[in-house]
Every structure is written in structure tokens, then in C-alpha cells.
Amino acid sequence: MKLIGASIIITCDENFKIIKDGGVLFCDKNIIKVGKFDELKQDDLQEVRFYQSCVIMPALINSHIHFEFSKNYSTLHYGNFGKWLDSIMQNRDMLMQDAEIYIKTAIKETLKSGVGCVGAISSNGLDIDFLSKSTLKVVLFNEIMGTNKDFFNIVKDNFKARLEKSKLLEDSRFRAAIALHSPYSLDIELAKYAIDLAKDYKMLVSTHFLESKEELTWLENNNGYFRDFFKYFFKNQNAKPCYSKESFLELFKECQSLFVHCLHLDNNTWDKISKLNASIVSAPRSNRLLNNKYFDLTKANEYNFPFIIATDGRSSNNSLNMLDEARCALFAYKDYEINNLAKEIILAMTKNPAKVLGFNNGILESNKASDFAVFYIKDIEMTTQIELNVILHANEVQDLYINGKRIDIENN
């Protein structure tokens, strides 16, 4: 058994209990007890450590990230979704060259920001080996995409090969799953093929949904940006949307799913999506950069969707640091009382995504996984605004524990 303690423990449990001079007693996999550090001390401990002026909280969870796009810095166009997608189409191959080097750096950046668990969207399978070998806990969402009938068999075979490869690598830290890219980029035949596999294998499904007004106009009116998109990039003069909003949602009715973005939901769509076994993931900086809009938190509350934030990829962000994401959310939602919002944001990257990704972490209490992030925050023991100051000042972990092991991030 090991014991670590800190000036502040944020448990993220049901009551959002915060413990001053707290401790966590744990063995390799699981937490044994959380309480006051002095009361948890005992003989025969393998390791005892107290982090002064630090906060211990559940290791953070980034439930939507594209590691393969980590080469992007200034290549892609921001401020307009259509221009961004054009720039992706033009630069995709270049961004995938040497992707491996950037994936490794991105995994380090992720760990450094205190993230111990990710939902990774894998478009080409270039990240599978790196992620399965890393110390991160991973749900690997194999992406399927395609609208050109001539290539359906190739797309299916390629997707199936990636899926089976990631399935073979499954263990207690690594699980395979499926991503349907979006309603504008995926024909119904391919979507059904992937959904049937998700049902057979009982896998989680992720999708980008109603991220842009361009997507909304395409699904509702069959025109706008996407008409030109299909003409220009696919030489298809007669492209039609493959779904209505409703028929796309229907696909997910027997799956557990994650809908990413959801910036353009009307009441009827909120209603439909709330009846599925679905969660919504929001990527605030990505949404600001591509679509000049933030997710409607008030509506999400109304329909009982817990708040979940994620970074998305470097393809639509300036960093993969979850604390930068948290700060963006804190400043974006200006109409919310700041201390409450800070608490909700902490839950949005711990307890709430944990429930979806299913690794029994995200909360510090007995029997949960021993996944902790430790942040040094000057004078944290002096403040009454703990959550707010964590979001304002935490940036890089002092230490990160996954399954009870302190991670050597530099050599990961």
C-alpha cells in the first residue's frame, strides 16, 4: 500500500468533497481510502509522500482528441468552418507525413497536463501502436468516413483491419471503439456497416454532429458550402445529404454514443438526442476557432447532459493541454457564477467523462482506480476559491499516477 497526501484533495465525488491536508491510501490498481493524511498513516507502507501547496485530484480525462493531426501548427485555416475543411482537404496528406514524431510529442504534452485517460479518434491507424504502448488509458475510436460508392469496399476493409488490430491490442488499459466521422462525410451504407460492428462487439461509438452552420444547411436544405465541397473535391455535381438530422440520430438508437460539438441543435434535436444512450462532448477552443460559437450549456442542463470538455486535435486547437481548455471554458461562459462554473469545469474533465469512457476513474473514493494528478499551486492552502484557482494556475503536473504508478513522463 502507498499513501500520498497534499494540502488540498479534490475528490470529485457525489458531494464534491474537498479535504484539507488530505490523503489517498492506495494499492496498484485501486484506492483503498481517502481522508485526512494523518489519519491514514500506518506502518508497513511501501511509500509515503506529502505534496505541500499542492492539489491532488483525479487524473484528467480528454475524451475527444485526434493525435494524428498533431503536426498542425499554422497550416490550417481558422475562423470559418468551410475554409477550415478546405484546408484540411488540401493539407491532409502533408499533415500525416511524419505523423509519428508528432504523435509521440502529443502523448507527452497530454500526460504533462495531467491527463491519464483519453478518447482518441484514429482516422488512419497511425496512432494505435503508440497509444497502446503508452501509459495512458485509451478508448481508441477507429474512424470511418466515405461518400463515394466506388471506394466503399476499400473503406470497409481498411476500417475493419484497423478495428481488428486495435481489438487485438485490448487490455485493461486499452479498448477499441468506433467513430462515424459525421453525417456530411459518411454514406449510410458505411455507417450501418460500422454501427452493426459496434453492436456486435458492444463498442462505444463517437461522432461529430452539427458542428457548423454549413452542416446544418446541408442536412436541412441540401445546399450551401457542402454542395460546392462535393463538386470541387469529389467531382460530384449531384451530391445529396445522406440523412436528415433525425435519420442520422436513429442510427445510434441501440448504441452507447458520444456526440461531439452539437453547436446547432434545435429543440426537436435536443429532445431526440436526449432520448438516446448518448453523451455530448464539447471542445470550446475548437468551436471558437472553426465556428465562432460556444456550446449551449444552459440547454445541456435543461436536457440533463453532464458537461464534458475535450481539446479536439491540434487540427483545431493551439494546444492539447486540458487546463488551457478549462481556462477557455471559464472565460467563455461569462454569464455563469464563476466559482460554480469552475467546479462544473473540473467535473467536465474528471467524473463526467469517466462515466462514459468506463475505466472506473475520475473520482477519488474507495475502489476507484488509482489515477491521480498532482498540481503545485502557490498559496492554494490560503484560498477559499480552490476550484477557481486550480483552473487559473494549474498547467503542468507535479506528478501523475496511473494505476498507482508514478509516471516518468519524459521517458514514456
**Residues binding ligand MCF (CB under 6 A):** 66, 69, 88, 121, 123, 143, 181, 185, 208, 211, 286, 312-313, 315-316
Residue 63 or 315: the one with the smaller Cβ distance to ligand MCF is: 315
Q: Binds 311, which of Fe ion, ligand MCF, none (CB < 5 to 8 A, cut-off by type)?
A: none
Q: Binds 110, which of ligand MCF, Fe ion, none (CB < 5 to 8 A, cut-off by type)?
A: none
- If we measure between CA atoms, which residue out of 323, 337, 332 comes closest to residue 376? 323
| CB-CB neighbours of 392 under 10 Å | 15
Nearest-approach distance from CB 305 to Fe ion, in angstroms: 18
Q: Binds 227, which of ligand MCF, Fe ion, none (CB < 5 to 8 A, cut-off by type)?
A: none
Pair 9, 18: CB distance under 8 Å: yes
Q: Binds 350, which of Fe ion, ligand MCF, none (CB < 5 to 8 A, cut-off by type)?
A: none
Q: Binds 315, which of Fe ion, ligand MCF, none (CB < 5 to 8 A, cut-off by type)?
A: ligand MCF
Backbone φ, ψ for residue 197 (5° rounding):
-65, -40
Residue 187 or 371: the one with the smaller Cβ distance to ligand MCF is: 187
Q: Binds 181, which of ligand MCF, Fe ion, none (CB < 5 to 8 A, cut-off by type)?
A: ligand MCF
Instruction: Report the amino acid identity of residue 3.
Output: L
Pair 122, 68: CB distance under 8 Å: yes
Nearest-approach distance from CB 310 to Fe ion, in angstroms: 8
Nearest-approach distance from CB 210 to ligand MCF, in angstroms: 11
Q: Binds 185, which of ligand MCF, Fe ion, none (CB < 5 to 8 A, cut-off by type)?
A: ligand MCF
Strand, coil or helix: what is 392? helix
Residue 7 or 182: the one with the smaller Cβ distance to Fe ion is: 182
Binding test (CB under 5 A) with Fe ion, winner from 312, 325, 344, 371 = 312
Q: Which three cell numbers stand for residue 96?
A: 500525416
Q: Binds 325, which of ligand MCF, Fe ion, none (CB < 5 to 8 A, cut-off by type)?
A: none
Q: Which residue has its beta carbon closest to Fe ion?
A: 312
The stretch among 29-37, 146-154, 311-319, 403-411 that binds Fe ion (CB under 5 A) is 311-319
Residue 316 or 370: the one with the smaller Cβ distance to ligand MCF is: 316
CA distance to 189, 263, 339, per residue, from 140 (Å) = 22, 24, 34
Residue 312 or 325: the one with the smaller Cβ distance to Fe ion is: 312
Q: Binds 248, which of Fe ion, ligand MCF, none (CB < 5 to 8 A, cut-off by type)?
A: none
**CA–CA gap between residue 377 and residue 386 (Å, rounded):** 10
Residue 26 or 259: the one with the smaller Cβ distance to ligand MCF is: 259
**CA–CA gap between residue 330 and residue 393 (Å, rounded):** 12
Residue 66 or 343: the one with the smaller Cβ distance to ligand MCF is: 66
Pair 354, 342: CB distance under 8 Å: no
**CA–CA gap between residue 259 and residue 249 (Å, rounded):** 10
Nearest-approach distance from CB 123 to ligand MCF, in angstroms: 4
CA angle (17 as vertex; 391, 336 as ends), nearest 5? 45
**CA–CA gap between residue 261 and residue 259 (Å, rounded):** 7
Residue 5 or 119: the one with the smaller Cβ distance to Fe ion is: 119
The stretch among 222-230, 290-298, 305-313, 399-407 that binds Fe ion (CB under 5 A) is 305-313
Q: Which three cell numbers stand for residue 197?
A: 460492428
In the beta sheet, which residues pair with residue 169? Answer: none
Residue 317 or 389: the one with the smaller Cβ distance to ligand MCF is: 317
The interface with Fe ion within residues 240-299 (CB under 5 A) comprises none
**CA–CA gap between residue 317 and residue 287 (Å, rounded):** 9
Residue 8: partners with Cβ closer than 8 Å, 6 or more residues away: 18, 19, 20, 22, 54, 55, 56, 380, 381, 386
Pair 379, 385: CB distance under 8 Å: no
Q: Which three cell numbers stand for residue 33?
A: 481510502
Chain positions contacting Fe ion, by CB under 5 A? 312
